[in-house]
Amino acid sequence: MDRTLLQFLAVADAGSISNAAERLHVTQPTLTFNLKKLESALGVSLFDRTSRGMRLTAYGQTLYQHALVMKRLHENALESIQRQKNNFENGISVGSGYTAWATFLRGLVFDYRTQHPHVPINVSLGNVLRLMDQLLAGDILVFVGHKVADLDPDLGTDFEAIGRQQDGFFVRRGHPLLEGLRTQSDLKAYPSTIAFPWESHQKRLSSLVFADGTAGKAFTSNSLQACLDYVNGTDAVLQHGELMAQEFERHGVYKIRLAPGEAPDPVRMGVYYLRERSSDPRVIALVDEIKRRAVPVYTA
């Protein structure tokens, strides 16, 4: 905003040149010169100079009212620009599976919101290939997922390991599989479900993921809640990270106890991000914070 108008407002509010000059940290002669210059440009007197100080004339009152509006608009514009700048510099968009969200990412996001209450935060929950699609499209900065062994290195992604996750198998309350120790053969006698739907276009990213058993299930969905509903309403067996066992119990779904040697191999978990963004301060800070919170959760 024009400096002379700001000085005019200061004199009007302070009621004297000396008080306004002190508040503005300028000399009285400078302030007097600028006010006279403003009056000369407008061709009117803005103040009546009295022994009690400076009082606005009718012209001064008109200018004061409009200058206040201009000042508010100017301040609002600066605030909006700063808010946009903060959004660009501090806004985050992350992805993960349901287990990572429930065990540590949720806390990270809530803490980030407390530190940056006015910036946008986007969280995408889904399987590793869907999140990879979003990462490559630029929709998310980073995501937590398992290591995809046959991922094309030319995609330009980096993976930083944070530990290993063991899958478990879950069924509804009262299911026959909850009795005693069970084998993989026992599990295969029942329909299966997983929160990892078959999407044909994702085969360009990995064929092994689907070959390892994420396809051919009796029921699949992007929604973990839908899978839990299906398990509760049928005899289906849900395969999911065993770290969710306590959470699933609140939904009436319980972990099957497996006989020794029957558990699947644990999968490597880590943080994916685009190699071209590896020097981005936001990405670096986000990856470091995810690793700090995730390492105690996963097995080494």
pLDDT in tens, the chain (300 residues): 788 999 998 999 888 888 888 888 999 999 899 989 999 999 999 999 887 888 999 999 999 889 888 888 888 777 766 655 554 456 788 999 999 999 999 999 999 999 888 888 999 999 898 999 899 988 899 999 999 988 888 889 999 999 999 999 999 999 999 999 999 999 999 999 998 876 766 777 776 665 554 444 789 898 999 999 999 999 999 999 999 999 999 999 999 999 999 999 999 999 999 999 899 888 999 999 999 999 999 987
Collapsing DSSP states into helix, strand and coil, what is residue 227? Answer: helix
**Both structure tokens of 69:** 């509006």
Q: Taking a C-beta distance cutoff of 8 angstroms, is the pair 290, 140 a contact?
A: no
Residues with Cβ < 8 Å from 125, sequence gap 6 or more?
A: 95, 96, 97, 98, 101, 224
pLDDT value of position 211: 57
pLDDT value of position 214: 45
pLDDT value of position 87: 46
**What residue ranges do the domains of the chain occupy?**
3-88
**Both structure tokens of 7:** 């000085």
Q: Taking a C-beta distance cutoff of 8 angstroms, is the pair 73, 65 a contact?
A: no
Selecting from 3.40.640.10, 3.30.420.40, 1.10.10.10, 3.40.50.1970, what CATH number does the domain 3-88 have?
1.10.10.10
Token pair 């007197």: residue = 45
pLDDT value of position 262: 95
